[in-house]
Amino acid sequence: MSSTTEHNAFFIGGEYRAPAGTGRITVISPNTEEPIGSVPDGTEADIDAAVAAARQAFTDKSGWGGWSPAQRADAMERLADELDKRAADLAQAVSAQNGMPIAIAGQLEAVFPQLLLRYYAGLAREYPFEETRPGLLGGSTLVTADPVGVVGAIVPWNFPQALAAFKYAPGLAAGATFVFKPSPETVFDAYTLADAVAAAGIPDGVINIVPGGREVGAYLVSHPGVDKVAFTGSTAAGRTISEVCGRLLRPVTLELGGKSAAIILDDADLDLTRVGEQIFSATLLNNGQTCFLGTRILAPRSRYDEVVQTFAGLAGSLQVGSALEATTQIGPMVSARQRERVESYIAKGKGDGATVAAGGGRPQALDRGWFVEPTVFAGVDNNHAIAQEEIFGPVLSIISYDGDDDAVAIANASDYGLGGSVWTSDHDHGVSVARRVETGSIGINAYLPDPTAPFGGVKSSGLGRELGPEGLAAYLVKKSVYL
Ligand code: NAD
């Protein structure tokens, strides 16, 4: 980016309003380490204004609060169309801020939200928002599914648009209203979303956006005007938020960290010309900064050396460079701090006795930007820190196993349970192993969350589900009227 992006207001109540405070968030490019623009830093007063606008929209029976599901669905489809018009801008903004390769941003950040909006618009039209059930005691019951109210939604920087849509697409279908707090690392794309919301004729106050840091996020979580919290981020923050919501008895959905297993069965096809793209997406997508990645590669002892060679070959072949180059496969880490974290894990891996089979340092040809070489460790024990803790960078650990039972035991010996994959030429065998893994979702010979299926974690990876009809149910409250 040659020029910088500057914003001076927040999207609240359908308009751009001056911020209450004077602080600014400056975004530094992970590609160049140069500032690329700034936006106001949200304060408690801005959150108050946003929650009030969301409440007003929610209770306005002559507006959003009185709209039928079909009217909401129409508006959601208009929003999808408006996002389509802005797809290139969204992809560019995301890649410039968080280092996501632009080819991936173009496929996911600029496309997935529209897919979700259109899917949930369809669901809104056919969903049984109320039903009458015959009772056992002579009468019957009218059961209604009502929108949960005002949602405080907090999203991380790694997929800022897709993860926001995981929340607003089902939430709009339900009739909820939102206050979004984007991460300070990714703020510009939120303004493009706001423009699209306004252009789509979504009523004022249904979606409000106030970027800010974790204190403002914490304020939103405990705000008395918020009826539900939807959070995606780290397990540490999720635990704190969960404690607050527990005390307030406030419904909360938590999509947290992961350390998933990619289980290579002894009959897996590892020919990278055939499966390289799927393996890449399941283990290294978005520079390793994706929650569901299978970063623990479980390899049968009989094929261990071949698996190490395959992954080392894959890592070594990847094009590392500026996220804004069309051919880049691995961009920089989002921040200097994140690169330090990744490098500290690489040092820990070496210190614990694992062997570097590929990468392990910074790419020599790139002297600006927070780059780390795609790194593969062999000889990893599942108890090593690099096998147990979420690194959130392009670092894979290859662990050997003996037989299916051992593979499943190692896969399950983790605090996390979010994603995962099984690689095999025998579909049924793959599914039977997948059934035994303690996780919220798992793929056979690939991994990509599908909008129609529930997505979420078990154990320390979270609570509740997004996507699918389950994701819609998370924004509805059931009520029984005994007739
Ligand atoms: P983070 O938890 O530091 O921050 C996430 C968001 O929460 C940010 O907007 C931040 O400002 C806010 N926040 C932090 N502490 C808060 C608090 N106490 N109260 C309210 N808000 C708070 O996480 P991050 O480093 O931005 O994102 C990376 C993490 O997100 C990784 O652990 C990754 O696995 C996880 N993640 C999970 C999923 C999923 O669907 N399970 C998806 C993407 C990322």
172: alpha, beta or left? (left if phi > 0; alpha if psi -120 to 50) = alpha
What is the Cβ-side half-sphere exposure of residue 195, based on CA atoms within 13 angstroms? 14
Pick from 245, 118, 241: nearest CA to 170: 118
Q: What is the DSSP letter of 301?
A: G
Tell me, rounded to whole angstroms, the distance of Cα 242 from its chain centroid: 18
pLDDT at 390: 98
Q: Kindly report the CATH class assigned to 261-444.
A: alpha beta
For range 205-217, the mean pLDDT: 98
For atom 9 of ligand 1, which residue has the closest CA?
183
* pLDDT tens per residue, range 449-460: 999 999 999 999
Percent of the chain with pLDDT over 90: 99
Residue 2 pLDDT greater than 80, yes or no: no
pLDDT at 1: 46
Take atom 26 of ligand 1 and give the residue whose Cα is closest.
156
Tell whether ligand 1 has an atom less than 6 A from the beta carbon of residue 454. Answer: no
The alpha carbon of 400 and the centre of ligand 1 are apart by a number of angstroms equal to 31
125 CA → ligand 1 middle, Å = 32
338 lines ligand 1 (CB under 6 A): no
pLDDT tens digits for range 13-68: 999 999 999 999 999 999 999 999 999 999 999 999 999 999 999 999 999 999 99
CA 204 → CA 104, 118, 230, distances in Å?
32, 21, 21
Please count the other Cβ atoms lying within 10 Å of the Cβ belonging to residue 214: 15
What is each CA distance from 466 to 183, 369, 453, in whole angstroms? 20, 34, 8
* Of the candidates 468, 479, 466, 473, the residue with the CA atom closest to the CA atom of residue 167: 466
What is the β-pairing status of strands 140-147 and 476-482?
Answer: antiparallel
Task: Give dist(CA 266, CA 215) in Å, integer.
Answer: 49
pLDDT digits (tens, 9 = 90+) for 216-275: 999 999 999 999 999 999 999 999 999 999 999 999 999 999 999 999 999 999 999 999
Measured CA to CA, the distance from residue 413 to residue 415 in angstroms comes to 7
Which of the following is catalytic: 82, 109, 185, 255? 255
In Å, how far are 151, 165, 256, 292, 474 from 441, measured between CA atoms?
Answer: 25, 19, 13, 9, 18
Provide the token pair at 328. 């880049």
Find all residues with CB under 8 Å of 444, minimum gap 6, and list them: 421, 422, 424, 427, 430, 431, 434
Which ligand 1 atom lies nearest to the CA of residue 157? 26
Residue nearest to atom 19 of ligand 1 (CA): 218
In the residue annotation, 277 being an active-site residue is answered as no
In the prediction, which pLDDT does 64 show?
A: 98
Distance between CA atoms of 283 and 292, rounded to whole angstroms? 8
pTM, two decimals, is 0.97
Calpha distance 281→273 (Å, rounded): 14
What is the distance of C-alpha 277 from the center of its chain? 20
Assess whether the C-beta atom of 321 lies below 6 angstroms from ligand 1: no
Return d(Cα 196, Cα 161) in angstroms, integer: 12
Rounded Cα distance between 355 and 14, Å, is: 55
Instruction: Provide the phi-psi class of 220: left if phi over 0, else alpha when psi is between -120 and 50, else beta.
Output: alpha
Listed in order, the ranges of the chain carrying CATH 3.40.309.10 are 261-444
Contacts of 41 (CB under 8 A, 6+ apart): 19, 21, 23, 24, 25, 184, 211, 212, 213, 216
Question: Does the beta carbon of 100 sit less than 6 angstroms from any atom of ligand 1?
Answer: no
Instruction: For ligand 1, say whether the CB of 241 is within 6 Å of any of its atoms.
Output: yes
User: Could you tell me the two tokens for 424?
Assistant: 């095999």
Query: Any idea which fold 5-256+459-482 has?
Result: Aldehyde Dehydrogenase; Chain A, domain 1 (3.40.605)
pLDDT in tens, 362-412: 999 999 999 999 999 999 999 999 999 999 999 999 999 999 999 999 999
- In the chain, DSSP finds a helix count (H) and a strand count (E) of 16, 23
pLDDT at 148: 98
Q: So what's the pLDDT on residue 3?
A: 82
For residue range 353-374, what is the model confidence (pLDDT) as tens digits?
999 999 999 999 999 999 999 9
Parts of the chain belonging to CATH 3.40.605.10: 5-256+459-482
240 lines ligand 1 (CB under 6 A): yes
Give residue 439's pLDDT: 98
